[in-house]
């Protein structure tokens, strides 16, 4: 890519050859070239909502139907998207180097679908496809649920146009009919984006949303980490163990993240304190991690989908 200077590419490649312990932090920009919108900046809107304003327990409690429509749309889009060359390049580097771990803030499942070795992939913010009960007293959860839509009422219009009869019960069929009516301005037979601003967002009753099969009392929710919630304890522990275990960290890759969200962003300075040189891959030269760039760091400006496979080659 024209954005990479030959000198930077050469010094990075030379350094990479001698690296043993490598850490990567991934953000939404990695999946931008797979067509998935990021959270901040251009594309950070779902309909009229700021995407980050919906990613809170308060938003879910206030309007679970709205928040479920946001996540149902994101599940659908993620399933339709394909991993890009950067996801594959990172998976390949993991296979070559068992002392390389990746901390992903992404919940879209694209690294897993690019066959990233699971034991080297730590999901800091959970997954859109893990589902858990919201009831404080219930511990129900299930992973890798790719049902789309997860309940009929959450179908987007292109799905309700040709409903799969096997997934629709009576209540669900009624619910999906009402969604279809609510979105009747959409062009029949086309893949209609639920983010289309002309269509009103249907009001969904809690009864139409995913229900817990165990306690039969709580609503289910996506197994992602919302603002104010703790990151998965076992994941944090595994990352800490890796940090503490070995010799110094040689390299920290920071790919497609605005580095605004904690504690994820804090790993960059932690790796730096352990000796790591940092390589940032981002479209925006202002989105630098922690203390910014040091002498000996790299900044590769541009599309991660192009740059990451180029520099890891
Ligand atoms: C490209 C590109 C291309 C585009 N190629 N690049 C310390 C200080 C201040 C606040 C806190 C703190 N510690 C904790 C907090 C509170 C809070 C926080 O960080 N707030 C800040 C925003 C101020 N953190 C938390 O609440 C965390 N929990 C926690 O700390 O618990 C303990 C605690 C609780 C309460 C108080 C104190 C402690 C939880 C954070 C959970 C974040 N969850 C979300 C939603 C997940 C579910 C979902 O997907 O809906 O995670 S928010 C959202 O942001 C999502 C992302 O993973 C995360 C990071 O965003 P990311 O990936 O960086 O995306 P963008 O859009 O921001 O950036 C995209 C980048 O790509 C840009 O730079 C583009 O330029 C670039 N780009 N196209 C390359 N093609």
pLDDT tens-place string over residues 21-45? 999 999 999 999 999 999 998 778 8
Nearest CA among 94, 103, 8, 3 for reference residue 293: 8
- Would you state the pLDDT for residue 3? 67
Are 31 and 106 contacting, i.e. CB atoms less than 8 angstroms apart?
yes
List the residue whose alpha carbon is closest to atom 10 of ligand 1: 262
230 lines ligand 1 (CB under 6 A): yes
> Is residue 122 lining ligand 1, measured as CB closer than 6 Å?
no
Maximum separation of any 2 CA atoms in the chain, in Å: 64
Q: What was the pLDDT predicted at 179? A: 35
Domain segments of the chain: what residues? 1-36+83-125+230-313, 39-80+134-224
Q: Which atom of ligand 1 is nearest to the CA of 284?
A: 75
Average pLDDT of span 50-60: 96
- Specify the fold of 1-36+83-125+230-313: Rossmann fold (3.40.50)
Phi-psi region of 32 (alpha: psi -120 to 50; beta: other; left: phi over 0): alpha
The Å distance, Cα 164 to ligand 1 centre, comes to 36
Structure tokens at 119: 């034991």
Alpha carbon of 153 to those of 114, 205, 217, 304, 305: distances in Å? 30, 10, 19, 36, 35
Question: Can you give the pLDDT at residue 156?
Answer: 82
Give the pLDDT band of residue 197 (cuts 50, 70, 90): low
Q: Which of 51, 84, 34, 58 is nearest to 195 (CA)?
A: 51
pLDDT at 12 over 70: yes
Name the average pLDDT for the chain.
Answer: 88
ipTM above 0.90, yes or no: yes
Using most ligand atoms within 8 A of CB, pick from 25, 27, 107 the residue to mutate for ligand 1. 27
More confident position, 23 or 181: 23
Q: How far is CA 118 from CA 81, 95, 122, 245, in A?
A: 20, 11, 8, 19
Ligand 1 centroid distance, CA of 247 (Å): 29
Burial (0-12, 13-18, 19+ Cβ within 10 Å), 7: exposed
Task: Note the pLDDT of residue 157.
Answer: 67
**Catalytic: 295?**
no
Classify domain 39-80+134-224 at the CATH topology level: SIR2/SIRT2 'Small Domain' (3.30.1600)
Reported pTM: 0.90
Ligand 1 centroid to Cα of residue 7, in Å, is 32
125, 162, 190, 295: the catalytic one is 125
pLDDT, position 123: 98
For residue 191, pLDDT over 90 is answered with no
CA-atom Rg of the chain in angstroms = 21
**Ligand 1 contact, 47 CB (< 6 A):** no
């Amino acid at each position: 890519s024209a954005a990479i200077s030959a000198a930077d590419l050469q010094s990075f490649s030379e350094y990479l050859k001698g690296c043993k312990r490598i850490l990567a932090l991934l953000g939404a920009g990695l999946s931008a070239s797979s067509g998935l919108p990021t959270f901040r900046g251009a594309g950070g809107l779902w309909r009229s909502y700021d995407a980050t304003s919906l990613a809170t327990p308060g938003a879910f409690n206030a309007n679970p139907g709205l928040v479920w429509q946001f996540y149902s749309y994101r599940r659908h889009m993620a399933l339709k998207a394909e991993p890009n060359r950067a996801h594959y390049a990172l998976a390949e580097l993991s296979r070559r180097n068992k002392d390389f771990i990746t901390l992903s803030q992404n919940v879209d499942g694209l690294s897993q679908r690019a066959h990233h070795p699971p034991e080297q992939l730590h999901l800091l913010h959970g997954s859109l496809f893990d589902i858990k009960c919201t009831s404080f007293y219930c511990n129900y959860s299930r992973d890798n649920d790719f049902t789309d839509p997860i309940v009929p009422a959450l179908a987007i219009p292109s799905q309700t146009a040709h409903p799969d009869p096997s997934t629709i019960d009576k209540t669900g069929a009624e619910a999906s009919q009402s969604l279809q009516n609510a979105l009747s301005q959409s062009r029949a037979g086309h893949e209609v984006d639920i983010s289309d601003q002309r269509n009103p967002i249907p009001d969904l009753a809690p009864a139409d949303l995913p229900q817990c099969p165990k306690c039969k009392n709580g609503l289910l929710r996506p197994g992602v980490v919302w603002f104010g919630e703790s990151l998965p304890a076992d994941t944090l522990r595994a990352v800490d163990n890796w940090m503490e275990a070995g010799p110094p960290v040689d390299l920290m890759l920071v790919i497609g993240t605005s580095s605004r969200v904690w504690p994820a962003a804090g790993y960059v300075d932690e790796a730096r304190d352990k000796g790591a040189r940092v390589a940032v891959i981002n479209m925006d030269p202002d989105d630098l991690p922690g203390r910014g760039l040091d002498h000996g760091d790299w900044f590769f400006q541009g599309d991660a989908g192009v740059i990451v496979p180029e520099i890891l080659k």
